[in-house]
Structure 1
Amino acid sequence: MSNSAKLTQGSTFKHVVSMSLMGALGLMCMFVVDLVDMLFLSMLGEKEAVAAVGFSSAILFFTISLSIAVSIAATALVSKAIGEGDIELAKRRAVNVLAFGIFFSSAVVWLMWPKIPNILLFVGATGRTLDLATGYLQILVLGMPAVMISMIGSGIMRALGDARRAMYATLIGGLINAVLDPIFIFAFGLGVQGAAIASLLARFSMIAVSYYGVVYVHKMLGEFDLMDFFKDAKSITVVAVPVMLTNMSSPLANAIVMAHTSTFGDDAVAAVAVIGRIIPVVFGGVFALSGAVGPILGQNYGAGRFDRMHSTISSAVIYAFGYCMVLCIILYQMQDWLVDVFNATQGSADLIRFFATFVSFSFFFQSLLFISIAAFNNLGKPLNSTLLNFGRATFGTWPLIVVFSLFMGAEGILFGQAIGSVIFGCLGLYMARNYITQLEKKETKDMVSSRPINFDELI
């Protein structure tokens, strides 16, 4: 076994916590900048600007989800090769996933850019909000290839167990964004477009950080060979496409929620936009679980350590419960401060308080879904992740928010989402545990059937 497979040794709980917290720092930095964007734009005293970013976020989450999907493919394929001790195969897969990501993201930008106004109309943006959202989104979408490259680089480093360097790309990108935001928004007087330009420049800065970690520190990129790329294309696609579909379901759910929220007016849309910025900052440690659990499972699967795979799932659940308990209490205590900071109107403030008081702990159950998705993506059943996440995005979202909003108004939208998270989180965890048990039984059976017959044992 290669010494690089360090996730096959030591405490699984320690690996889950360290990998999750490192990933969370990077994610939270990125989302803190989004939160600061919203804060700066709210200072303009124009609720259409805040609503515009809210509508744009539903679409941007779609593009980011595609990038995350390809990075998950990189993590799954590279971590398994590392667990098997095949470093050359890991390097070959790393460079080929990177090439796949560059081609794919460029194609998405080319297809999506001219259709942005129509997409925003579909999710409910109108009037000045539509104009502001269109300008904001048309700038930021151009940065998708940069996000794709940096996320794939981070995925490769997570596959090696180097969560600290994987964090650096988003951390440094977020810091650059935070510095440029007030300059472009206020000093240059560009408002919403200034926020988009600052974010675009920050995303391109992330490439250099990821490239340095993968190429110069770990030396994990092999030479690109077109024939090798075609050989690996099937393996990449088998993982990446279902994961893309899985991740597309989250922006689909967000779009459904935003479209239904728009029927309650701009105050409700602004509140959901603020909550959408609060969630990743507060629950960054939960969102990072998939990126943390995946490489641990991948390396141990490659090494045949099923005992550690079971332990990893249990450790992740314990970590998620403790994390959510602490952060939900903090969020409850901070709700009035959040209302004041974002200059929320009475309608928006009521929704923010309702979320902090009654809905926030549902993210523990959503974390169970993240854990199960990581298991299926990294253990050869990405289609199960797709079915689970699409189930949550459709049956676990639209009918529930429609029914509960009839009785509870806009608050029913948040409550319906929470109920969907509880149902599909519990279902996903049960399926993931059962699947790992099946893999273990299959491995044991294959080992027994392939073992040479010892005739002395038969006497």
Structure 2
Amino acid sequence: MGHVVTMTATGSIGLVAIFIVDALNLFYISLLGQEELAAAIGYAGTLMFFAISVAIGMTIGASALVARALGAGDRERAARNGGAALLFIGLSMTAIAALIWPNLHFLTGLLGARGETQAIAVGFLQIVVPSTPAVAIGMGAAGILRAVGDARRAMYVTLIGGAISAALDPVFIFGLDLGVTGAAIATVISRCAILAIGLHGAIVVHNLVRLPDPATLTGIARPFLLIAGPAVMTQLATPVGNAYVTAQIAQFGDDAVAGWAVIGRLIPVAFGAVFALSGAVGPILAQNLGARKYDRLRSAMRDALIFTIIYVLSVCAALAIFAEPIADLFGATGQARELIVFFCLFAAISFLFNGGLFVANAAFNNLGYALYSTMFNWGRSTLGVIPFVWAGAKLYGATGAIAGWALGAVVFGIASVIVCFRVIATIEHRDDAEPPTGPVPPTAQSPFTSAKGATLG
């Protein structure tokens, strides 16, 4: 539990820093007093979530491959895996950005953006989208740092990037009177900082990035894609579900979308530790899988779930107490205020089940069952979103849509955890019948291994 908490705490500090900056963007823009601006940021954030989700999925692949090699005591292979993974991430995200950029007007239109609100969203995205490869590679480098157990430096990657954005936002938005354009410019500068800091840690400090020759690169591509491919598909499910919710809420006007935009910024700030937990527990599971410590696979999962329950209940209590002040902070009125308060009082508790799903998905991705995480996440984002949100919107308007979104998490959160523990039992039974593929040196320099070879994670 101590290791789970330490890795999660350091990861969540950096992660929440980025999300706080994102919320500050919306806060600063809300001070400009134009409802269309907040709604435009909501549409832009929904679209950017797609690209970032692909980067997160590929980061999972990078982290898992490096962690497995380290767990097996092969640092050279870990470095080759890290270099190949960052190359794959850079090429893939460049292609995605090139595909998105010329189609921004069409894509924002699909989400329900219209008129001046759509024009503002497109202008913001035209500046930010080209920086997508930079932030993706930086995230991949942070994943390598987590794989080697350097939680502190992985935290600095996003923490410093967030601090830079927080400092520049008011300068560009108000000082230079650039408004939304200023927020976009500050975002790009922050992403470049994330890239530089992440690469410095992975390359200079740990020497865990080594570009392999073409033959080796081809050999690494398959195991990387076997993890990253399903992980990307898994991550894409959430923005697809969010896009559907956004489109349903859009029919109730810009004030409803503005309220949903605030909720979208509030969720990762309030539940950042739950998001970080899924990233932190993955390398722990991967290293213990490489060391064949099956009892620690189960204990890490149990501890992660206990952490989730305690954390979510604590945060939900705080949100309920401060629901009205949170709405006041963003100057929300009317329908926007109603949605924010409803989320804080009722819908937030759904993260008990979302948290279970996140932890189970991390286990599936790192234990060789990534297809399961894809199935559960897409189930949550389709069967657990579309009918519930549609029915809620028809019966109770925008508030009903958010209630439906929250209710859909229950079944998939519980089912994913049950299946996860069965997967661990299956792996143990399978591997007990097979000899180890290679010895784990008793003094292997694994960040989760003691001097006597006992795995700590």
TM-score by shorter chain over 0.5: yes
Q: Which whole-Å CA distance do the structure 1 matches of 2:435 and 2:52 have between them?
A: 41
1:94 paired residue number: 82
Letter paired with 1:361: I
User: Would you say the 8 A contact 2:248–2:393 is kept in 1?
Assistant: no
Q: Which whole-Å CA distance do the structure 2 matches of 1:234 and 1:81 have between them?
A: 15
Q: Which whole-Å CA distance do the structure 1 matches of 2:431 and 2:222 have between them?
A: 24
Among 210, 221, 224, the alignment partner of 1:233 is: 221
Among 330, 340, 354, the alignment partner of 1:342 is: 330
2:41 paired residue number: 53
Among 395, 418, 433, the alignment partner of 1:407 is: 395
The question of 1:398 aligning with 2:386 is answered yes
Quote the offset at 1:417 in angstroms: 1.2
The question of 1:105 aligning with 2:98 is answered no
The more displaced of 217-226 and 411-420 is 217-226
1:56-135 aligned at under 5 Å gives the runs: 56-135=44-123
CA distances 1:309-336 after superposition (whole Å, capped 9, x unpaired): 0000000000001111111111111111
Structure 1: 4+ residue segments shifted above 3 A: none
1:266 paired residue number: 254
Q: Percent of aligned pairs with the same residue? A: 42
Letter paired with 2:207: K
2:136 paired residue number: 148
2:450 paired residue number: none
Q: Which whole-Å CA distance do the structure 2 matches of 1:375 and 1:398 have between them?
A: 26
The question of 1:27 aligning with 2:15 is answered yes
| Local SS of the residue matching 1:44 | coil
The more displaced of 404-413 and 365-374 is 404-413
2:24 paired residue number: 36
Q: Which whole-Å CA distance do the structure 1 matches of 2:183 and 2:292 have between them?
A: 48
The more displaced of 366-375 and 437-446 is 437-446
User: Would you say the 8 A contact 2:145–2:151 is kept in 1?
Assistant: yes
Letter paired with 1:177: S
Quote the offset at 1:447 in angstroms: 4.4
Q: Which whole-Å CA distance do the structure 1 matches of 2:224 and 2:434 have between them?
A: 26
1:298 paired residue number: 286
Q: Which whole-Å CA distance do the structure 2 matches of 1:179 and 1:415 have between them?
A: 36
| Local SS of the residue matching 2:208 | coil
Quote the offset at 1:349 in angstroms: 1.0
Q: Which whole-Å CA distance do the structure 2 matches of 1:221 and 1:239 have between them?
A: 19
Letter paired with 2:218: F
Q: Which whole-Å CA distance do the structure 2 matches of 1:223 and 1:355 have between them?
A: 46
Q: Which whole-Å CA distance do the structure 1 matches of 2:92 and 2:52 have between them?
A: 13
2:2 paired residue number: 14
| Local SS of the residue matching 1:219 | coil
| Local SS of the residue matching 2:125 | helix
Q: CA RMSD in A?
A: 1.1
Q: Under a length normalisation based on structure 2, what TM-score does the superposition of the two structures give? A: 0.94
The more displaced of 305-314 and 156-165 is 156-165
Q: Which whole-Å CA distance do the structure 2 matches of 1:120 and 1:318 have between them?
A: 39
Quote the offset at 1:446 in angstroms: 2.4
Q: Which whole-Å CA distance do the structure 2 matches of 1:159 and 1:430 have between them?
A: 26
1:438 paired residue number: 426
User: Would you say the 8 A contact 2:255–2:335 is kept in 1?
Assistant: yes
Q: Which whole-Å CA distance do the structure 1 matches of 2:352 and 2:153 have between them?
A: 27
Letter paired with 1:240: A
Quote the offset at 1:176 in angstroms: 0.4
Q: Which whole-Å CA distance do the structure 1 matches of 2:8 and 2:134 have between them?
A: 23
Among 328, 348, 360, the alignment partner of 1:372 is: 360
Q: Which whole-Å CA distance do the structure 1 matches of 2:105 and 2:211 have between them?
A: 41
The question of 1:158 aligning with 2:146 is answered yes
The more displaced of 89-98 and 184-193 is 184-193
Q: Which whole-Å CA distance do the structure 2 matches of 1:432 and 1:368 have between them?
A: 10
1:251-262 aligned at under 5 Å gives the runs: 251-262=239-250
Letter paired with 1:280: P
2:235 paired residue number: 247
How many residues in Structure 1 have an aligned counterpart in Structure 2?
A: 436
Letter paired with 1:163: A
Quote the offset at 1:404 in angstroms: 2.1
Q: Which whole-Å CA distance do the structure 2 matches of 1:242 and 1:178 have between them?
A: 34
Quote the offset at 1:361 in angstroms: 1.2
Structure 1, unaligned runs of 5 or more: 1-12, 449-459
1:273-292 aligned at under 5 Å gives the runs: 273-292=261-280
Among 169, 180, 187, the alignment partner of 2:157 is: 169
| Local SS of the residue matching 1:395 | coil
Quote the offset at 1:197 in angstroms: 0.7
| Local SS of the residue matching 2:251 | helix
User: Would you say the 8 A contact 2:169–2:182 is kept in 1?
Assistant: yes
1:452 paired residue number: none
CA distances 1:210-254 after superposition (whole Å, capped 9, x unpaired): 111112221112243222111111111111111111111111011
Letter paired with 2:27: L
Letter paired with 1:226: P
Quote the offset at 1:408 in angstroms: 2.2
1:3 paired residue number: none
| Local SS of the residue matching 1:222 | coil
Quote the offset at 1:445 in angstroms: 2.2
CA distances 1:363-411 after superposition (whole Å, capped 9, x unpaired): 1110000011001100111111111111111100010011122222211
Letter paired with 2:192: F
The more displaced of 404-413 and 439-448 is 439-448
1:187 paired residue number: 175
Letter paired with 1:229: L
User: Would you say the 8 A contact 2:84–2:211 is kept in 1?
Assistant: no
2:193 paired residue number: 205
Letter paired with 1:419: L
Quote the offset at 1:193 in angstroms: 1.2
Letter paired with 1:319: F
